[in-house]
Chains A and B, each alone.
Chain A
Amino acid sequence: MKPPGSLYRRLLAWLLLPLMALGTLMLVQAYLDARRTADRAFDRLLEAATLSIAEQVQWQNERLWLDLPPAALEMLATGAEERVFYAVYDGDGQFITGNARLPGDPRGDTDSGDTLHYRDIEWRGLSLRQGIRRTRLEDWSLRERFEVRVGHTREGRQALTLALLRGNLAYIAVMAGVAIIVLLLAIRSALAPLTRLRRAIRARDPRTLAPLELPLPRELAELRETLNELLARMRRVRANQERFIGDASHQLRTPLAGLSARAELALRQDDPQAWRDALQAMQATSTSTARLAVQLLSLTRLNNPEATPELRHLDLNVVARMAVRNAWSTCHRDGIDLGMEAPEAPVMVNGVDWQLEEALGNLIDNSRRYGATRITVRTLPDPPTLEVEDNGPGVPADKRLLVLRPFYRGRDGGEGSGLGLAIVDGIARTHGARLALNEGQDRQGLRVTLRFPGDCR
C-alpha cells in the first residue's frame, strides 16, 4: 500500500508542476528575447564600424588602400572591453589588411551592391559576433568590390542580455509569486469544507448516531450521505442489540421468577414430598436456565467480531462421531433413531472442533425437541459438508430465515430457548460455511446443511 499522501500536497503538486514548467518556458523565452534585443543593439556597432572602415577604403598605388580610422575599432569595444578583430578583403578574397584573418561571408557571391551580414562564429576558441559588409568602391571609374569583416567577443552583449533578463526576471518572479499565493489560497479554500466536516465529526458526542447535518459542496455532500447511511445502519444494529438484550433478560427473568415462585410455594407447605417435588422442578428449571445462559454466552461470543478463534485442520467425521456419541443416550431414552452416515475417507476442513460439535448438538437437540423419530447425521466430501436430517415436522419455506433469529420459536410451547439455530448460524459464519435449511427426504422433515468453503484436504 502506498503511503497516504496528502490531498493538499497532491493538488499543490499537480498545479505547481505545470506552473513551474510554464515559468521555465517563460524564462527561456525571456532569455532568448533579451539576447536578441542585445544582439540587435550591438549589431548597430558592427554596422557603424564596417561603414566607417568601408568609407576609408580607396584605390591608391594601383591597389586597394585603407587608412584605418582608430575610432572604427574603438566603437567596437564598449565598457565590457571586448576583443576586437577586423580585416579587409578584396573581391577575389585576397587579404588586404587587418589584425586577424577572419572567415568570410558564407553566402553565395551575390551581385547585389552593398550588403551587411551578421553571424555568430567560433573562431580560435573565442565566440565572436561577426559583421561582414560587402561593398564596392565609389570611384569615378573603378567599381572594385571588397569585403569589410569585423568581429568582437560577446561580453558586452552578455552584460546587456543579463541586464534585460534581470528586468524580465523580476517581472516573472513577481508573477510567479502572485500565482503561487493565489494557488495556495485557492487550494486552502477548496479544502476548507473537508476541515469543517472533520471538525463536525470530531465534535460529536461519541454515543450519538444522529445523521450529520451541515452544508457541504456536492462532492463532500456525497461523503456526508454515505456517512449518514453508515450511521443509519449502526442505529439498526444497535436497535437489534437492544432488542436482543431485552429478549435475553426477559428469557432469563421468566425461569428465575418461576424458580422464585416455586420455592415460595414449597415453603408454605410442610410436606417433605412436596418439597422434594419442588426441588426437582427447580432443579430442572435451573438446569435449563443454566443452559440458556450458556447459549446466550456462546451467541454473544460468536457475534463478537473482535474475537475470531483460531481455525485448525480437523476431520468432520471425528466431529460428527463425537456429537452423535454425546447425544446418543438422550435420544435412546426418547426412543429416537439417531444414525450417522460418513464416507470412509476423512473429510478435512479448517475449523474449531468444539464449535462444530456444539452446532451439531444444537441441531440434534432441535430435531429431538420438535418430535422427530429418526435423526441422521451425515458428512459429505467435495465440498466438505455436515448435514443433519430428521423426519420431524420441518420448517415452512417462508419461515426458514426467521428461525435463524434469536428467540424466534417456530412453535409456541416448545421448551427450546430459541437460540439453537441462531448459534448454528453464528458458527457457520465463523467458519465461512453456508447454512441451508431444506426439506428432508420424501418432502418431509428438515435437512440442515453446513457447506464448508473450498477444498481443504
Chain B
Amino acid sequence: MIKKAILTLVLVLLGPPALATESLHFSAEVRDDPTRSLIIHGALDLPYVQPLLEDFHRRYPNIELHYRNFSTLELHQRFLDEDQERADVLISSAMPWQYRLANDGYAQALETPAASAWPSWARWRHELFGFTFEPIVIVYRRELEERFGAVNSHADLLNLLERRHEALRGRVVTYDPARSGAGYTYAIEEVRLSPRYWDLVAALGSANAALVDTTGEMLDGLAEGRYWLGYNLLGSYAKDFVDAHPQLKMVIPSDYALVTQRLAFIPREAPHPESARLFLDYLLSETGQGVISEKTSLGAVHPSLEGPGTAGELRTRLGDALRPIRLGPGLLATLDDLKREALLSRWQREFQRWSNIPGR
C-alpha cells in the first residue's frame, strides 16, 4: 500500500507529466461566506499533504479546501498557462522553477510574524518559503554491507566503486540527469560543491550504473534485489520505504549531504489571498511544522522544534555535512539551457570516461 502510494507520488513529483491528477477536497462545515475557500496546487503527494490539510481544516473548518497534486513540470506549466484554474498556494520541490517564478514577480509577499521569524536560509524575500528539510541519501541492501563494508559517505562510495566496479556492474542505480529534473538539479549542485564529483560520475560509469527517472523506481529495484545500492534518493520518500523493508539501509552521507526543500508561495493573482495567507502562515507556524515532523517524513524547518523529523535534529547529528540547496539566484543558472547542455554533455563524457579505454 505504502509502496504503491510512494510510487505514484514519486512519479507525479519528479517524473514526466502525471498519469492522473490526484486531489483532496474538504468542504466547509460552516458555510457563512462563499469566498472562504482555498485552492492549493502542489507537487507533494497525498499521504504527505493529507495530515497537514486535515489539521488545517480542523482549525479553520469554514474554509473550503481543494488540493490538487501535479508533477513539478505540469504544475509549472499550468501556472504559466493563462487558461487554467488559478491557485492560491503553489507548492513544489522543483526549487529552480519555483525560484524563477518568484524572481519574475509572480509571488506576493507574506508579512506575518511567522514569516518574518522564518530562518533566512529557508526563504527568499517574504515571498518564497522552504517549509521542509529533505536530505538526499544513499540506500543500499544489507548484504552489500556484509560483503563490502558500510558506505557512510561519498568518499566511501567512490572508494567502493573504484575497487569493486566489476562486482557491482549493473547493481548501482541513480538518477539520469538528462531525463530527471531532480537528478539534474542534484548534479549541478554537486558539481558546485566539489570537482571530485566528476570522479564519482566516472566511477558510476565504470560500474555501468543504471539510470532511472524517480526515487520510486530506485526503491523498487532495491527492494526486489535488482540493485544493491542507490545513490541520490530523496530521503523523505526513502525513509518510510526503508522502515518498511528491513533488507534496506538508508544512509545520509557524512561528508556532505544535499538537502532539498519544498518551496511554497502565494501567486500574485491568487483568487483567495486571505485564505492563502492563512494557510501559508499555518505551514510556517509551530503547529503546522509540528504536524510535518510528527506525521510525515518531510522534515520540519521551524527552529524551535527539536527531536526526530526536524532539521534541528539532523543538524545536531550531521553538523556541517548538510548542504541545503541555496535559495538564491544561483538556481537560475540551473535553468539556463546552455548550462544544461554543457553540464549534461560533460556528465555523459565523464560517465563514459573509462568505457572508451580498452583494457579496463
Contact = CB atoms under 8 A, between A and B. Distances in A.
* Residue from A69, A85, A99, A100 with most neighbouring chain B CB atoms (10 Å): A99
A16 interface: no
A83 interface: yes
A125 to B, nearest CB: 7
Q: Which 4 A-B pairs have the closest CB atoms?
A: A70-B330, A73-B329, A70-B333, A84-B329
B305 interface: no
Interface string B300-339: 0000000000000000000000000000111111111111
A101 to B, nearest CB: 12
18 contacts: A65-B338, A66-B336, A68-B336, A70-B192, A70-B329, A70-B334, A71-B330, A73-B329, A73-B333, A74-B328, A76-B329, A81-B124, A84-B329, A86-B332, A97-B336, A100-B104, A124-B104, A125-B105
B330 A65 contact: no
B336 A99 contact: yes
A51 interface: no
A67 interface: yes
Interface in B135-171: none
A77 interface: yes
A70 B192 CA distance: 9
A255 B64 CA distance: 121
Interface in A122-165: 124-126
A84 B332 contact: yes
The B contact surface, by secondary structure, is helix
A124 B103 CA distance: 12
A76 B103 CA distance: 13
Nearest to B192: A70
B349 interface: no
A176 interface: no
A67 B192 contact: no
A71 B105 CA distance: 22
Contacts of B342: 65, 67
A380 interface: no
A388 B338 CA distance: 126
A77 B328 contact: yes
B337 A97 contact: yes
A84 B332 CA distance: 9
Nearest to B333: A70
Interface string A92-104: 0000111110000
A125 B334 CA distance: 25
Nearest to B331: A70
Contacts of B331: 70
Interface of B: 100, 103-105, 124-125, 192, 328-339, 342
Given A74-B330, A77-B329, A84-B329, A67 B103 contact: no
Given A70-B192, A73-B330, 17 more contacts: A66-B336, A66-B339, A67-B342, A68-B339, A70-B333, A70-B334, A72-B333, A76-B329, A77-B329, A83-B103, A83-B104, A86-B332, A97-B339, A98-B336, A99-B332, A99-B336, A125-B105
Interface in A48-82: 65-74, 76-77, 81
Nearest to A124: B105
Contacts of A85: 103
Interface residues of A, number: 25
Given A73-B329, A77-B328, A81-B125, A67 B104 contact: no
Nearest to B125: A81
Interface of A: 65-74, 76-77, 81, 83-86, 96-100, 124-126
Contact of B338 (A71, A97, A100): A97
* Residue from A68, A77, A98, A100 with most neighbouring chain B CB atoms (10 Å): A68
A81 B335 CA distance: 19
A281 B204 CA distance: 161
B338 A84 contact: no
Contacts of A70: 192, 329-334
A125 B103 CA distance: 13
Nearest to B100: A99
Contacts of B329: 70, 73-74, 76-77, 84
B103 A99 contact: yes
Contacts of B330: 70-71, 73-74
Nearest to A57: B338
B118 to A, nearest CB: 13
Contacts of B103: 83-85, 99
Contacts of A83: 103-105
B100 A68 contact: no
Nearest to A60: B342
A124 to B, nearest CB: 7
Contacts of A84: 103, 329, 332
A36 to B, nearest CB: 25
Contact of A99 (B105, B192, B335): B335
A144 B126 CA distance: 42
A386 B192 CA distance: 122
A81 B331 CA distance: 13
A71 B338 CA distance: 16
A85 B192 CA distance: 21
B295 to A, nearest CB: 32
A68 B333 contact: yes
Contacts of B100: 99
A70 B331 CA distance: 7
A77 to B, nearest CB: 5
Contacts of A81: 124-125
* Residue from B192, B328, B334 with most neighbouring chain A CB atoms (10 Å): B328
A403 to B, nearest CB: 99
B332 A126 contact: no
Nearest to A79: B120
Given A76-B329, A125-B105, A68 B124 contact: no
Contacts of A98: 336
Nearest to A125: B105
B272 to A, nearest CB: 23
